[in-house]
Chains A and B, each alone.
Chain A
Amino acid sequence: MTHASRHLLLLGPLMGLLTLAYLVPFLGVLRWSVTLPEPGLGQYGRALTDPLIRSILWRTFRICAIVTVISVTAAYVLALIWVRAAPGLRLLFELFILIPFWISVLTRAFGWLALLSTRGLINTWAQSLGILSEPLTMVRNEFGVIVGMVHFLVPFAVFPLATSMRNLDERVLMAARGMGASRTRIFWQIFLPMTRTGVLGAALLVFVFALGFFVTPAILGGGRSVMAAELIFLRIFQSPDWGLGAAISVIMMVTVGILMALLLRLTGGTRQ
């Protein structure tokens, strides 16, 4: 038996599970999308032309893009401190990064609700201190959704970034310093480009993850900033419009697939 086939054998059980748990149901969804309520591509036509669905898909991509940019930027700073700080500070940041992982997404969404709502902590404090006269609307809109999503996703972005920073050869930075380069120049021209793979990986991870967000937008968006996942839920569980829900699911899946392929090309082309 060759080396590769032995590896495949080891992977077998996992492959089987994934096929059963993901591929089979996905094929079912694919079938619904072209058979319900009648055979044909009619549901795809609807999904891509209906102004309401289009606006929700567009909002989903916009929010996800904003969340990705904010999360990756914040995670870059966190990862940089985590990787390069003194041991004490490093431990503190490790806790900051890890603690959110231990708290359920639901709890966190309600936490933000308590903090950001019209009669929440921030508004009541700001008003009693006289900073605000009218409460700020920070939930039941896109702002709330973005805050909640960023908070959830930052830790996920930290890991690929920290890995690419750790793998970086310290001597390359020393070489740049020895040639007289300033810290700013070293960061923008050496450090950032060398951690590019990590940035792309983190961005893709966050973006794909964000596309499927359900709980956070449902709670912090309060039904006003509906995103794709919630839309699919509504189509399938509330209005029995399975065909349309399935078609939107397939569109999301294909988008994710295309993004993954793009990333592989981008990082594969610059592999060092």
Chain B
Amino acid sequence: MTQAAEIEARGIGKMFGNFAALSDVSFTIGRGEFLTLLGPSGSGKTTFLTLLAGFEAPTSGQLLLDGRDLTATPPETRGFGMVFQGYALFPHMTAEENIAFPLKVQRRSAADIRARVAAMIELMGLGGHGHKRPSGLSGGQQQRVALARALAYEPPVLLLDEPFSALDKNLRGQMQDEVRRLHRELGTTFVFVTHDQSEALALSSRVAIFEKGRLQQIAPPREVYDAPANRFVAEFLGDINILPVDLQAGRPQVEGRAVAIVTPGTGPLALRPEYMGLATSEPVTGNALPAHLDDLTYQGAETRLALTTRGGLSLILRLPTADVPQSLTPGSEVWATWDSARGFRL
């Protein structure tokens, strides 16, 4: 197996006419890392992947592969593997011919090609489907062929552009497990683009979050979720409750009630819905805000509650259904609580 590669981006910028798709993006993708590029559409994440693949050249900045300048290298000589959105399989070739194509391009011997194709069919669990054309395969199988084709020639880097966007939810989960397993087994550097936050958090060793062409934060999933660098990252990764904090004689207050906050910082306090609790009467100790229950959505294992505090703040709570009192109905007066160790300051 080819050595996994390290990629460094130095001050990458990309202009399309007057529109800055990327500005001053710098970071390093480690050897064998599983990095996810996450962001809303138009954030520049796909543009960055296209630059990595070499289909577009950056307007400014430099790309380095293991220290060598890669910026001017065309895609055909980069030797990266790529899985496209919609798979981009060759429709007139069978699954096996699709997988063999890059090997034929490399002029490998017929015996070597046969062996590699057979190994990839085996690795991807495509046994019995090798002679089918893409039109005869299910979405998940086409996805596997696309992965096999991109990995057949043992590329040092595998680029994946929203590969699961066309799959239904169950198949998506299955393919995510599959990709994680491949990454573990092959040790190749994976760069994965998605706009799905939970997918990004579930798959990667680090997540790079893009917005308006700028890199907002790059960190392990737990860190971007629990300690986001800014409000955009905090809000993009899921529901968040933001409580403005006032200082009264040096002691923090929320809506006029004294609260205990141990997390450092001075900005508003941000709390994920699952880190807040509910009480039906004023708790004796701990942080609490009186609120009105607007809505309650049963979601199986969890129940999602929408609250408005007396001061007019909207809060979202996500509680294990087992912890929600049966008597609770919209219109009830409740208390929203949280542990002083939870949350972060924006």
Give residues in A with beta carbon < 8 Å to B.
Answer: 169, 171-172, 174-182, 185, 189-190, 193-194, 196, 270-272
Contact = CB atoms under 8 A, between A and B. Distances in A.
A180 B86 contact: no
B53 interface: yes
B92 A175 contact: no
Given A172-B89, A178-B76, A180-B76, A271 B135 contact: yes
A174 B84 contact: yes
Given A175-B82, A272-B135, A180 B88 contact: no
Contacts of A177: 55, 75-76
Contacts of B82: 174-175, 178
8 contacts: A171-B88, A174-B55, A174-B75, A178-B76, A179-B149, A180-B105, A189-B101, A270-B92
Contacts of A174: 53, 55, 75, 82, 84, 88
Which among B78, B82, B86, B153 has the highest number of chain A CB atoms within 10 Å? B82
A12 to B, nearest CB: 34
Given A180-B102, A180-B106, A190-B90, 7 more contacts: A169-B88, A172-B91, A176-B101, A178-B54, A194-B91, A270-B92, A272-B133
B105 A171 contact: no
Contacts of A193: 92
B62 interface: no
Interface in B88-127: 88-92, 101-102, 105-106
B76 A171 contact: no
Contacts of A171: 84-86, 88
Interface residues of B, number: 28
Contacts of B77: 180
B135 A181 contact: no
B333 to A, nearest CB: 55
Interface string B66-78: 0000000001111
B55 A180 contact: no
A202 B3 CA distance: 49
Contacts of A194: 90-92
B88 A175 contact: yes
Contact of A272 (B55, B85, B91): B91
A194 B90 CA distance: 8
B105 A172 contact: no
Contacts of B102: 179-181
Closest 7 pairs between A and B when the two form their complex, measured CB to CB: A179-B102, A171-B88, A175-B88, A272-B91, A193-B92, A171-B84, A172-B88
A194 B91 CA distance: 7
Contacts of B153: 179
Contact of B76 (A182, A196, A270): A182
B84 A180 contact: no
B80 interface: yes
Contacts of B61: none
A30 B105 CA distance: 56
Contact of A178 (B53, B89, B134): B53
